[in-house]
Amino acid sequence: MSTDTAAVVRATVEDRVLEIVLDRPPANALGAPIVDGLTAAVARLADDDVRAVLVRSAVPGYFAAGADIKQMGTLDGPSFAAYRDALRHPLEALAASRVPSVAAIDGLALGGGLELAMACTLRLATPASTVGLPEVKLGLIPGAGGTQRLTRVAGRGVALDLMLTGRSVDGTEAHRLGIVDRLVDGDVVTEARALARGLAASSAPAVASIIACVDAAAGDVAAGMAFEGEEVVRMITEGEAPEGIAAFLEKRRPVWA
Q: Where are the domains of the chain?
A: 3-200, 204-249
Q: Which of 52, 103, 115, 174 is catalytic?
A: 115
- Write down the pLDDT at residue 72: 77
Specify which residues 102 forms β-bridges with: 54, 122
Tens digits of pLDDT across the chain (257 residues): 333 556 899 999 999 999 999 999 999 999 999 999 999 999 999 988 999 999 999 999 999 998 878 787 888 889 889 999 999 999 999 999 999 999 999 999 999 999 999 999 999 999 999 999 999 999 999 999 999 999 999 999 999 999 999 999 999 999 999 999 999 999 999 999 999 999 999 999 999 999 999 999 988 999 999 999 999 999 999 999 999 999 999 999 999 99
- Write down the pLDDT at residue 170: 98
Q: Given this structure, which CATH class describes domain 3-200? A: alpha beta
Catalytic-residue membership of 135: yes
Distance CA 148, CA 119 (A): 11
- Write down the pLDDT at residue 6: 64
- Write down the pLDDT at residue 69: 80
Question: Distances in Å between the alpha carbon of 41 and those of 33, 125, 189?
Answer: 12, 22, 18
Closest CA to 7 of 25, 17, 16, 18: 25
Closest CA to 146 of 113, 122, 104: 113
- Write down the pLDDT at residue 66: 84
Angle at 6 between CA 200 and CA 97, to 5 degrees: 35
- Write down the pLDDT at residue 5: 59
Question: Distances in Å between the alpha carbon of 247 and those of 199, 244, 252?
Answer: 19, 5, 5
Distance CA 63, CA 38 (A): 14
Closest CA to 51 of 103, 102, 99, 10: 99
Q: Which of 135, 143, 204, 239 is catalytic?
A: 135
- Write down the pLDDT at residue 80: 86
**CB atoms inside a 10 Å sphere around CB 122:** 17
Cβ proximity of 240 and 254 under 8 Å:
yes
Catalytic-residue membership of 250: no
Distance CA 124, CA 41 (A): 21
- What amino acid occupies position 83? Y
DSSP labels for 128-160? T-EEE--GGGGT----SSHHHHHHHHH-HHHHH
Cβ proximity of 62 and 24 under 8 Å:
no
Q: pTM of the predicted model, to two decimals?
A: 0.93
Q: Which of 41, 67, 104, 241 is catalytic?
A: 67
- Write down the pLDDT at residue 3: 38
Q: Which of 37, 107, 111, 112 is catalytic?
A: 112
Distance CA 231, CA 140 (A): 41
The count of C-alpha atoms lying within 13 angstroms of the C-alpha of 44, restricted to the half-sphere facing its C-beta, is 21
Catalytic-residue membership of 171: no
